[in-house]
Amino acid sequence: MLVLLRRTLLTAGAAVLLPLALSAQAPMSDTDYMALGRKYFDWFIAAEADSLLAHMSPEARENAGGVDGVTKAATDFIGRAGLESELVEERMTRRRGNPQYWREARYTTFVDEPLVFRWVFNDKGEILGIGMGPKSRTPAPDSTAAGS
């Protein structure tokens, strides 16, 4: 009876862990990156620095300036841009070969032109970098990027 219970538990454990292991190896799709981009943007606007830092690559985390640096970047952005008043375009592109979430929107304080907010990801969905600024000064995505 004990052997049967052990075998059942091992089989159940394998049934649960195998799909997790396989999904961890599957490459992320643009849909996956888009969902991350939206979530990370919401966290940025809400100044949820700890959440963002937990999802940055080690190098990006080091360059971000910790919780204070991320919080300052968020408050500076909101202070200069205002609130988002119109989402113009949201898409996935590539920047230097890496997936890039591109969010172009109009804001209530900075009204000269749309602002573009960008997250650049690695293949694990970690944040490699961030960009934000007027559309006219935003670096173009890679020319081979889908949707660009």
Question: pLDDT tens digits for 23-37?
Answer: 556 899 999 999 999
Q: In 3D, which of 135, 134, 125, 105 has the Cα closest to residue 60?
A: 125
Written as six digits, the tokens of 31 are 């849909």
Residues, the chain: 148
CA separation for the pair 3, 80 (Å, rounded): 66
Contacts of 28 (CB under 8 A, 6+ apart): 99, 121, 123, 124, 125
- Report the b/e string of 96-107 with b at 16+ CB within 10 A: eebbbbbbbbbb
Give the model's pLDDT for residue 143.
Answer: 84
Q: For 56-107, how does the pLDDT look when each residue is reduced to its tens digit (9 = 90+)? A: 999 999 999 999 999 999 999 999 999 999 999 999 999 999 999 999 999 9
Query: Can you tell me which residue has the tokens 């490699």?
Result: 128
Q: For 105-147, how does the pLDDT look when each residue is reduced to its tens digit (9 = 90+)? A: 999 999 999 999 999 999 999 999 999 999 999 999 998 644 4
CA separation for the pair 49, 66 (Å, rounded): 8
Residue type, 89: E
Residue type, 82: G
